[in-house]
């Protein structure tokens, strides 16, 4: 969306998200501020869900809670019919608080502690295991009826090297040989239902890849079925569906992705006695373009280059500093400006990696302007921190011009909340 496209609009020179004027919201709620458009999340969910369900009706989505753990977002997705993919105990607890049923949750941890395994066993949540040894440790606490293993299909793909989660260097998953033993063991220990899972990479815009990696998972699944004598209730292809961040990246053609994946299901299972469910667990695709991060320009400096300093630095949006990620930006109050220049958009953290955009062409910017950073809905708030003792941002949900503050801005109380001072240090 390199032209201004819905849910973004330019009205009288101010950037709007849906019906909400982002400049006005920055004035009223302060910055840094994440503004999320509810209808967009629902549209994204429906587009993805429809594309798959039309082709393979035994399909289920599980929202990957790690993308953003706000209860409002969890509840929106639950209302749409989503399940919840959780990576740890607090995410399971949040899904519970958002009224997801236990059977609508998945628990995919890695290098789990005994405490986590015990919690999962007591909850009875379907568990996705990352190693055969963890199965035996889990069995000590009681084996859930449904057992799934995360497979390393041998290759993966990601928007950055750091977002490739499979292949020889990955810390995730088990090989097909280990998997054959693992499922046989789970069967012996009394597991009733079985699933198979992979999550080979994130932020992928290559349509064919989704078919290729599904092929590989099916090959591995067939070997396991034969060797361990089990049938799979579900095949979980993970998340990974990319969104365009950087011009001129195209939208991911989700209809074609669904066709690539479901064609493989049809080839293998159409007319078969037992037909598995297809699961996917997207995070990015559902949330990314629903949310704009707003930062206020506090100071502009010329030092060889022009540096535009905002309060939305790496503490608020880590992706540019961590991955070199590109986020499209606008000056929200200068949408009609003609005169442009190349600037560096930076934050206020004492690190030189606190640069959100390098040599970016933007309207001539002054103190008081509002920088709008797009595609901040997934892994934005959830990866933010208190680094440099800066409170985390607020999150605002908008829909049809109405707004609701779904997470208050932090202040010093939050930073002090858990700190304890030994009395002797008061002297």
The DSSP-derived string for 345-400 is: EE-SSSSTT-EEEEEEEEE---TT-EEEE-S-TTTTGGG---GGGPPPPEEEEEET
| DSSP helix/strand/coil, 131 | coil
Query: Cβ of residue 40: shortest distance to ligand LLP, in angstroms?
Result: 16
293 binds ligand LLP (CB under 6 A): no
The closest alpha carbon to 249, from 148, 93, 344, 375, belongs to 375
Query: Cβ of residue 357: shortest distance to ligand LLP, in angstroms?
Result: 16
Segment lying near ligand LLP (by CB under 6 A), choices 42-50, 64-72, 132-140, 308-316 = 64-72
Given the complex with ligand LLP, which of 67 and 308 has the nearer CB atom? Answer: 67
379 binds ligand LLP (CB under 6 A): yes
Binding residue for ligand LLP, selected from 22, 41, 64, 191, defined by CB under 6 A: 64
**Residues 127/182, Cβ–Cβ less than 8 Å:** no
Segment lying near ligand LLP (by CB under 6 A), choices 275-283, 295-303, 331-339, 355-363 = 275-283
Active site annotation includes 288 = no
Its sign, for the CA torsion 224, 227, 231, 233, is negative
**153: Cβ contacts below 8 Å, ≥ 6 apart:** 166, 173, 198, 200, 213, 216, 217, 220
Segment lying near ligand LLP (by CB under 6 A), choices 27-35, 177-185, 197-205, 300-308 = 197-205
Binding residue for ligand LLP, selected from 108, 333, 348, 375, defined by CB under 6 A: 108
354 binds ligand LLP (CB under 6 A): no
End-to-end CA distance of the chain: give it in Å, rounded: 60
| Tokens 């708030």 belong to residue | 381
Binding residue for ligand LLP, selected from 14, 53, 176, 202, defined by CB under 6 A: 202
Q: Which one from 88, 148, 288, 350 is the annotated catalytic residue? A: 350
Return the axis-axis angle of helices 89-97 and 71-80, rounded to nearest 10°. Answer: 60
The closest alpha carbon to 397, from 243, 285, 292, belongs to 292
Cross-strand bridge partners of residue 194: 147
Task: Scan residues 233-272 and list those touching ligand LLP (CB under 6 A).
Answer: 238-241
Binding residue for ligand LLP, selected from 130, 180, 233, 281, defined by CB under 6 A: 281
Which residues are part of the catalytic machinery?
A: 350
Residues that bind ligand LLP (CB under 6 A): 64, 66-67, 85, 108, 163, 199, 202-203, 238-241, 281-285, 319, 378-379, 383
């Amino acid at each position: 969306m390199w032209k201004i496209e819905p849910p973004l609009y330019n009205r009288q020179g101010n950037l709007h998200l849906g019906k909400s004027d982002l400049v006005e919201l920055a004035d009223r709620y302060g910055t840094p501020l994440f503004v999320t458009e509810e209808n967009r999340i629902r549209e994204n969910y429906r587009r993805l869900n429809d594309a798959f369900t039309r082709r393979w009706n035994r399909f289920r989505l599980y929202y990957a809670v790690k993308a953003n753990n706000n209860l409002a977002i969890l509840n929106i997705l639950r209302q749409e019919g989503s399940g919840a993919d959780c990576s740890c105990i607090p995410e399971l607890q949040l899904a519970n608080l958002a009224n997801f049923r236990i059977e609508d949750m998945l628990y995919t941890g890695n290098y789990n502690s005994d405490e986590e395994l015990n919690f999962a066993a007591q909850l009875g949540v379907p568990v996705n295991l990352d190693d055969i040894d963890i199965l035996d440790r889990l069995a000590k606490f009681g084996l859930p009826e449904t057992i799934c293993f995360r497979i390393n299909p041998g290759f993966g793909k990601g928007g950055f090297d750091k977002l490739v989660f499979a292949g020889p260097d990955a810390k995730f998953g088990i090989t097909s040989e280990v998997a054959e033993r693992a499922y046989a063991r789970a069967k012996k220990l009394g597991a009733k239902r079985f699933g198979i899972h992979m999550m080979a990479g994130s932020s992928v815009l290559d349509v064919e890849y989704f078919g290729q990696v599904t092929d590989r998972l099916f090959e591995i699944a067939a070997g396991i079925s034969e060797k361990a004598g089990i049938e799979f209730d579900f095949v979980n292809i993970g998340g990974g569906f990319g969104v365009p961040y950087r011009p001129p990246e195209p939208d991911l053609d989700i209809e074609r992705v669904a066709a690539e994946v479901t064609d493989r299901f049809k080839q293998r299972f159409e007319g078969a006695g037992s037909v598995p469910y297809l699961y996917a667990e997207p995070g990015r695709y559902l949330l990314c373009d629903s949310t704009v991060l707003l930062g206020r320009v506090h100071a502009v400096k010329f030092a060889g280059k022009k540096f535009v300093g905002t309060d939305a630095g790496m503490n608020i949006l880590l992706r540019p500093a961590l991955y070199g990620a590109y986020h499209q930006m606008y000056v929200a109050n200068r949408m009609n400006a003609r005169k442009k220049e190349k600037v560096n958009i930076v934050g206020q953290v004492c690190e030189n990696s606190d640069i959100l955009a390098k040599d970016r062409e933007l309207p001539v910017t002054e103190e008081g302007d509002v920088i709008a950073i797009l595609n901040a809905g997934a892994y934005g708030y959830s990866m933010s921190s208190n680094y440099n003792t800066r409170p985390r941002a607020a999150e605002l949900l908008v829909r049809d011009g109405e707004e609701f503050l779904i997470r208050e801005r932090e202040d010093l109380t939050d930073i002090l909340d858990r700190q304890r001072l030994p009395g002797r240090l008061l002297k």
